[in-house]
A and B are shown apart, each in its own frame.
Chain A
Amino acid sequence: MPDCDMREAHGLLDLYACIDDAQERFAGLLKSYLVDHPTTIDQYIRYLSFQYHLTKDVQRYFLAIAAHGDLSRRRRLREFLCSFANEEELHYLVAANDLARLGLRPLPMPFDVELWHHYFGKVVVDRPFVRLGAAAILENISDGPAKEWVKKALQGSFLTRDNTKFLVLHQHEVLPHGNQILNAIEEGDLEPHHFADLSEGARKGTVLYLRMAEWAIRPTTLASICDHGTISLDQQEEQRIANFSMTELGGTSGLQQATP
């Protein structure tokens, strides 16, 4: 038993180390730009656009993780994942509605988001903890040393109450979600190969997320050579975005009360 606990503790420490590293790198990336300039509206448009594509249909990932047989005796973790799916599912519309308030639709999906969905969409079926490790990064990367720079990045004269709903929502969430996901992992009674997958997903998630962040911050970065054309949205989706109201988020959450 102690041996088993040791291995689990080691697995967790490795995941925490991945998160620390991701926060350091994210802080470094933001600092490299923000130390000399304020955020501009085109960076903000790129940020909301990649978040729209990254978080659209995010519930599928969490429900796919929950569906794996390794969670059949880890029902609390499974329940957590289902609640998480419900809570996160409509957030992509918040990002799109913020853009709509600026009179814009999202930019087409950046190549790094495409890579994200190709990779994690495939791997999540058989190795769900790889995707969960990436989620642990997404929910924690803005914390720690990155926090002050994220705060600095989110200042601009063009930001209003109407076009920052996605940011405000996630700033409030950062603490609970980041901790909740780590608590759920800690209490999951996971095995060494699960922890290995969590760390692998955390590292790969960091690589792709930081590339997306760089794509937003530096509109001429390498990945931008794939930027092309404008998005095609069907009529229904346009309507959903235009008519979206924050009250739609209420009542879906099993994790926390919806903010008023």
Chain B
Amino acid sequence: MPLRDALVEHADRFPLVGVVRDYPVLRRIGEIRHRQYVERQGKAYGSMVLDRQCLIEPSDFTSVNIYARDARGITCAMRVGEVLGDRNPYSPLFEKAARRFGLSVETTLTCTRLVRAPRHSGRHAVHLIRFVRWQTVHAGWRYCIMQTAEKLVPFFRKFGFTETGIWADDPAAGRLQVLVLDTNMRPTQEESDA
């Protein structure tokens, strides 16, 4: 099942989680990314859209962006893609991680560009991770490769992710670590995973 068909909103179980299907929403996420990555890093970064204050990349149009929201709008967002066939410049890196840890690339998805609105603590990221796991395991995906900033590594460990030692210097976000998760085809995390 294509990722776009697997990642559909599930209002009962995940009422806070939305799937991006409209450009104004993607643009808002691009603005949050720009603030979090580009402005803070102080690096010039070429965006692919006219709006200079907005970080949108080719793989946003081949992957699925998801977000959590409250009454004031988007609280955090993340991009979910496939290892193969994505236009992500990190595909070779992710393939390397998949090979090294014996993950089948056909059932491995990638999570990148996790951001939070400046006004928000970011605790809604929990909903995004649970949503992705629930939806994609039911659709046949098993593994997840997460690309994240060093300081969030302990946060992801709590969800069963393990470190790979693989990292990359991202032009916008700085050094990013690669973590992997084996869901064992369980759509929710069990205590033993933690």
A residues near B (Cβ < 8 Å) are: 40-43, 45, 102-105, 107, 157-158, 219, 227, 229-231
Report the Cα distance A42→B21, complex, angstroms. 14
Nearest-neighbor residue (CB-CB) of A228 within chain B: B24
Please pick, from A41, A105, A219, the residue contacting B22 in the complex, using a CB distance under 8 A.
A105
Report the Cα distance A188→B22, complex, angstroms. 44
Please pick, from A40, A103, A104, A227, the residue contacting B50 in the complex, using a CB distance under 8 A.
A40
Query: What are 21 residue pairs bridging A and B, where the CB atoms are less than 8 Å apart in the complex?
Result: A40-B49, A41-B48, A41-B49, A41-B61, A42-B23, A42-B27, A45-B23, A103-B4, A103-B61, A103-B62, A103-B65, A104-B23, A107-B22, A107-B24, A158-B58, A219-B50, A219-B51, A229-B24, A230-B22, A230-B24, A231-B22
- Assess whether B25 is interfacial by the CB under 8 Å rule: yes
Known A-B contacts: A103-B21, A107-B22, A230-B25. Give 18 more (CB < 8 A). A40-B49, A40-B50, A41-B48, A41-B49, A42-B27, A42-B51, A42-B56, A43-B50, A103-B61, A103-B63, A103-B64, A104-B21, A104-B61, A105-B21, A107-B23, A157-B58, A158-B58, A219-B51
Q: Shortest Cβ distance from B188 into chain A, in angstroms?
A: 27
- Assess whether B111 is interfacial by the CB under 8 Å rule: no
A40→B21 contact, CB < 8 A: no
Q: What is the number of residues of chain B that contact chain A, defined by CB distance less than 8 Å?
A: 21
Report the Cα distance A219→B52, complex, angstroms. 12
A158→B49 contact, CB < 8 A: no
Please pick, from A42, A103, A227, the residue contacting B49 in the complex, using a CB distance under 8 A.
A42
Q: A-side binding surface: helix, strand, loop or mixed?
A: loop
Report the Cα distance A219→B22, complex, angstroms. 16
Which B residues from 1 to 30 make CB contacts under 8 A with A?
4, 20-27
Residue numbers in A under 8 Å from B27 (CB-CB): 42
Q: Shortest Cβ distance from B28 into chain A, in angstroms?
A: 11
Q: Shortest Cβ distance from A202 into chain B, in angstroms?
A: 31
Q: Shortest Cβ distance from B67 into chain A, in angstroms?
A: 13
Residue numbers in A under 8 Å from B60 (CB-CB): 103
Residue numbers in A under 8 Å from B50 (CB-CB): 40, 42-43, 219
A103→B48 contact, CB < 8 A: no
- Known contacts A42-B49, A42-B50; A104/B58 CB under 8 A: no
Report the Cα distance A230→B28, complex, angstroms. 12
Report the Cα distance A230→B49, complex, angstroms. 19
Nearest-neighbor residue (CB-CB) of A103 within chain B: B61
Report the Cα distance A103→B58, complex, angstroms. 12
Which B residues from 42 to 71 make CB contacts under 8 A with A?
48-51, 56, 58, 60-65
- Known contacts A104-B26, A219-B50, A230-B25; A41/B56 CB under 8 A: yes
Residue numbers in B under 8 Å from A103 (CB-CB): 4, 20-21, 60-65
Report the Cα distance A158→B27, complex, angstroms. 17
Nearest-neighbor residue (CB-CB) of B27 within chain A: A42
- Known contacts A42-B51, A43-B50, A103-B4; A158/B61 CB under 8 A: yes
Q: Shortest Cβ distance from A153 into chain B, in angstroms?
A: 14
Q: Shortest Cβ distance from B65 into chain A, in angstroms?
A: 8
Nearest-neighbor residue (CB-CB) of B21 within chain A: A105
A40→B48 contact, CB < 8 A: yes
Q: Shortest Cβ distance from A62 into chain B, in angstroms?
A: 30
Report the Cα distance A103→B29, complex, angstroms. 15
Residue numbers in A under 8 Å from B24 (CB-CB): 107, 227, 229-230
Nearest-neighbor residue (CB-CB) of B20 within chain A: A103
Nearest-neighbor residue (CB-CB) of B60 within chain A: A103
Q: Shortest Cβ distance from A164 into chain B, in angstroms?
A: 13
Q: Shortest Cβ distance from B8 into chain A, in angstroms?
A: 11
